[in-house]
Amino acid sequence: MSARKGKRKEYLTVKDLQKVLDSCTLHLSQLDEVWPHIYIGNVAVAQNKAALLKLADDSTHFDLDVYFQPAADFIHKALKSPGGKVLVHCIMGMSRSSTLVLAYLMIYQHLPLKQALQKLIQKRAIYPNRNFLALLLDLDLQLTKKRKTCQIL
C-alpha cells in the first residue's frame, strides 16, 4: 500500500452522523438537561403552544444556520450570568432545538460535531433532520479550518 493511501483523510458524512444518532438508546421525554444548565424540550414545556405550532416549520430547506451564531451567543451569555440556565425548545424537542445546542457546543465548547452528537445522545433522544445535519457539517468544517489557521499563525 502506498503512503498516500495510508494517509487518506476521512471526512464525516450525513450518513455517518445518522449512525451516531441511531445508536441512542434513550426514549424521548418532554425535557432533558443535555449540558450543564442547557435544556432541550418540546413545546409542552414552553408557554404558548398554539403560537409555536404556527411558527415551527421543520422544513428540509430551512436555513437554520443563520441562527447558529446568534443562538450560541445567547446561550453563552445566559450561562455566564449568575444562576444562568437555558431552555432550548421546538415542537418535538428533537431537531431544531438540538441543532442549535449542537452549534453552541461546537462554537463555544470547541467540540467537533461527532463528539457533540455523542454527548447529547447520552442525555436525550435527538434527531436533527438531514438538512440540519448537513448545515452542522458545514459549520464543523468551517470551525476546523479556523482552528487550524489560528494554530499556524
pLDDT digits (tens, 9 = 90+) for 100-125: 999 999 999 999 999 999 999 999 99
90 is catalytic: yes
Domain count, the chain: 1
- Considering the domain boundaries, does residue 120 fall inside one? yes
- Residue 22 inside a domain? The answer is no
pLDDT of 144 reads 92
In single-letter form, the type of residue at position 2 comes to S
Q: 152 lies in a domain?
A: no
Residue 6 has pLDDT above 60, yes or no: no
Between the CA of residue 111 and those of 52, 87, 103, 116, 136, what are the distances in Å? 30, 20, 9, 6, 12
Q: Given this model, what pLDDT does residue 56 score?
A: 52
Percent of the chain at pLDDT > 90 equals 58
In this predicted model, what pLDDT tens digit does every residue of 84-103 receive, in sequence order? 999 998 888 889 999 999 99
Annotate 68-79 with DSSP letters as a single string: HHHHHHHHHHHH
Tell me whether residue 70 is in a domain: yes
Catalytic residue selected from 90, 116, 133, 139: 90
pLDDT of residue 1: 47
Question: Does residue 10 form part of some domain?
Answer: no
Domain of residue 64: give its range.
32-143
Report whether 128 contacts 99 (CB < 8 A). yes
Residue 48: pLDDT band with limits 50, 70, 90 = very low
Q: Is residue 27 part of a domain?
A: no
- The more confident residue out of 114 and 31 is 114
User: Which CATH number covers residue 36?
Assistant: 3.90.190.10
